[in-house]
Amino acid sequence: ARRIGMETVSTRELLMDRELERWKKIQLDKTFTSRMIFEKEGPTMGTVGAVAIDDKGRIAAATSTGGTPNKLPGRIGDSPLVGCGTYADDFTAGVSATGWGESIMKVTLARRVCDLVERGYNALEATGVAIVYLERRVDGLGGVIAIDKDGNIGYSHNTPYMALAFSRKGETKVIMSE
């Protein structure tokens, strides 16, 4: 971003009071694990994902995360790992994931959704099957959004909440607002 001259802001400006308070609370309980955070609150850490397809069938996916609290500095989550939190392939689907990163990484969740589309599932079926697998295989918690090569939209989550919306030909629809 710096190289192409994008304006940057200080880290303090990115810090929300709500998150700072939550972080302070978590420090008091040494047994608090990231799984408990996702169980209690769902993926509310500030992760935003997007998937898109254009009129030429080119698919893109993006994931921006606030991370997970109480991790060692330098921890790399699933979001920037290709195939885990994010994946796009014009032949199958575009996928973005949120949730408990350690479990998402173990099953390379985003790539798994694409593989299911390759096997004939549409985006909705593929995201559903992938989340069931995440839960059964590694006791994971998370959610995914996807768009497949035919333009079908898919989403699934086993966390309490996952806000999502889609836009098609100028029409925008909020599916879940929390």
Which sequence positions are flagged as catalytic? 47
65 part of the interface to ligand ASP, by CB under 6 A: yes
Q: SS in 3 state form for 97-132?
A: EEECHHHHHHCCHHHHHHHHHHCCCCHHHHHHHHHH
Q: How far apart are the first and last CA of the chain?
A: 30
156 part of the interface to ligand ASP, by CB under 6 A: no
CB of 19 to ligand ASP, least distance (A): 12
45 part of the interface to ligand ASP, by CB under 6 A: yes
Q: Which is nearer to ligand ASP, 23 or 91 (CB)?
A: 23
CA–CA separation, 93 and 101 (whole Å): 21
47, 86, 122, 159: residue in contact with ligand ASP (rule CB under 6 A): 47
Q: Are 168 and 140 in contact (CB under 8 A)?
A: no
Q: Which is nearer to ligand ASP, 119 or 165 (CB)?
A: 165
CA–CA separation, 127 and 92 (whole Å): 13
Q: Which is nearer to ligand ASP, 45 or 153 (CB)?
A: 45
51, 59, 61, 78: residue in contact with ligand ASP (rule CB under 6 A): 78
CA–CA separation, 60 and 21 (whole Å): 35
42 part of the interface to ligand ASP, by CB under 6 A: no
**26 Cβ neighbours under 8 A, 6+ residues apart:** 32, 37, 69, 70
154 part of the interface to ligand ASP, by CB under 6 A: no
96, 98, 122, 127: residue in contact with ligand ASP (rule CB under 6 A): 98
Instruction: Tell me the two tokens of residue 102.
Output: 């350690």
Residue 135's SS3 state is helix
94, 99, 128, 154: residue in contact with ligand ASP (rule CB under 6 A): 99
Binding residues for ligand ASP, rule: CB under 6 A, are: 43, 45, 47, 65, 67-68, 77-79, 85, 98-99, 101
